[in-house]
Structure 1
Amino acid sequence: MFMWDTVINLEDDYQLFFKHEIWPPTVVYYLSRLVVTLTSILASLVLQIQNIKDCQALLTVIYVSIVPTVLMTSMLFLLQVRAVYHDSKVAIRLFVLLWLVVSGVSILTSVIFLGAHAGTTQQCNIAVPRNTKAIECLAILLLINDTIVFLAISYQVLTFPLIDYSLKSWAKVFFNKESLPTILHLLLQSGQHYYL
């Protein structure tokens, strides 16, 4: 999946990196997409197929890559919200607070796992201590964060060009790119792709 995603976005990534000025959001994008996500995928693959002497050390590498992946991916959404709600300090502060909560929970979640060998083999297993709900909390919190951000961005984009605020008009703008300026369409579409 990562390889497919990389291949279909290769031209856009090339254009972004070599043809445009590098801004902090661009750095966050590349770190999230190429560096941290790839490290996380490779470490997880090694965990599943390779004989390992020290399972906890490998698990630490996975944590060190997964936590920044969550932080930077949610940071990309935060940057979109900041761009859309640039004139609302209350909204921006609310979304920054939500990002901080997601970040804190993802960091706390990473320390509860234990690495151990599977039986007498040198294959590693990830053990989760009993009675921990941290994984469920992180998954639910990420879903809530992504949903709120997606809905907030969609609402702001959908209300921008509309004269008629009917449900039919919103649906037309939501699903039809001809109704929106290109940048707004891309913002809405990228949020739809990420969320779905």
Structure 2
Amino acid sequence: MANATELPNPFTPLAFLPPALANQFEVSRYFCAATLGAYVWDIGLNLGHDYALLFEHKVYFPTIAYFFSRAVTFSFILTNFIYQVAPVKNCEALTRGWSICAVLAQIGTRTLFYLRVTAVWHPNKIIYVVFFILLIAVPSASLTATLGLRAAHIGPTMQCITTFVPAHIEVDTIIPLINDTAVFLAINYRILANTIVANSSMGRLRVFLGGKKGLSTLSQALVQGGQHFYLVAVAVNVTLLILVKLPHLPPVYHSMLATPGVALVNAMACLVFRRIKFGLISPDGVSRNPTSGFSSDFHATANARAHSLQPRHTDPTTTEFESHTTFPLEVLVQKEIGKFEDGRDSGQEVSKSTTLV
């Protein structure tokens, strides 16, 4: 580390780092800044959707989980950005702060994953238990990994840098990878079982591997079920794990994509949630949407039980979807109305979705 009196600007933090480490640290800060900008842009694009979710729909637990995941993910990205670029009085305290935000972000995003997979497999109690265990395991792994981080000031400056990373930091990537892959495969299997019509499991497998018509139908069903978004989440976790395990990669680069990865996975989970809420994806993952071109008005009955952590509690509503051109991603807006068209009270349980047994 150079002597402060020999430097033209002794208060520049990177001047107190070796050249290679200073370059890596600067690249990491660029990624962090780009992630914050992209996530703020995503929030701005979906302000209309979020307003509709809050004021044009009844707010149940899934909606609360959605906004919670958005808030804590943004907090994680913002605190990490402050840690990277701003002068900080107490580096250890800020490190604890963004570590806690990271754990909460994992909880929020994986709760949306859990709601989705249990909705598709409703009312299978084994799925509830298995994926609840995975839901608990993800933040637990993140907690043990991130709370072991240590930080300090760079030389006499107020800029922070991480000084110690736990040896088991890869657990923070492996457990989410297991969870996201399990969610992806579980929903895929459900869609496969309900899309390809065959007399046996081997028959479905043969159609899946060799039947062009069956494969085309399955591919369409996977896209309609939003599975390509979950595939992005799996790919992100695989990439992060590869970066962590590469021996010749500089230590700074091992975790450089962690923040963009958390942001991207959350954005994908939230996108699936919004598309389900606005009728672009069927809640159960297997029934066909009545929308083909998304241009004409239609009425549909949704079963809120498919989005609830409590299988016995039902809050069905009648929803009206109509074309709306002010939203950048979805073209449908869902409006809650209090009575069914046939005059029955909205408290009665009516469902047109496929039974997920």
Question: Would the TM-score normalized by the shorter structure come out above 0.5?
Answer: yes
> In structure 2, what is the Cα distance between the partners aligned to 1:143 and 1:87?
25
The answer to whether the 8 A contact 2:69-2:108 is kept is yes
> In structure 2, what is the Cα distance between the partners aligned to 1:56 and 1:78?
33
Q: Which residue pairs with 2:186 in the alignment?
A: 152
Aligned length: 188
Which structure: greater helix fraction?
A: 1
The answer to whether the 8 A contact 2:106-2:139 is kept is yes
The answer to whether the 8 A contact 1:157-1:188 is kept is no
Displacement, 1:14? 2.6
| Unpaired runs of at least 5, structure 1 | none
The answer to whether the 8 A contact 2:142-2:172 is kept is yes
Displacement, 1:174? 4.5
> TM-score scaled by structure 2?
0.49
1:67 has 2:103 as partner: yes
137, 148, 160: which is aligned to 1:101? 137
> What is the correspondence of 1:1-196 to structure 2 with a 5 Å cutoff?
1-33=38-70, 35-129=71-165, 132-164=166-198, 165=204, 166-167=207-208, 168-169=212-213, 171-176=215-220, 185-196=224-235
Displacement, 1:172? 2.0
Displacement, 1:10? 3.2
> TM-score scaled by structure 1?
0.84
Runs of 4 or more consecutive aligned structure 1 residues displaced over 6 Å after TM superposition: none
| Unpaired runs of at least 5, structure 2 | 1-37, 199-203, 236-357
* Most deviating of 133-142 and 21-30: 133-142
When Rg is computed on C-alpha atoms for both structures, the one with the higher figure is 2
> In structure 1, what is the Cα distance between the partners aligned to 2:63 and 2:178?
25
* Most deviating of 86-95 and 19-28: 86-95
User: CA RMSD of the aligned region, Å?
Assistant: 2.2
Displacement, 1:19? 1.4
Q: Give the % identical residues.
A: 32
Displacement, 1:104? 1.3
> In structure 2, what is the Cα distance between the partners aligned to 1:91 and 1:16?
28
The answer to whether the 8 A contact 1:29-1:72 is kept is yes
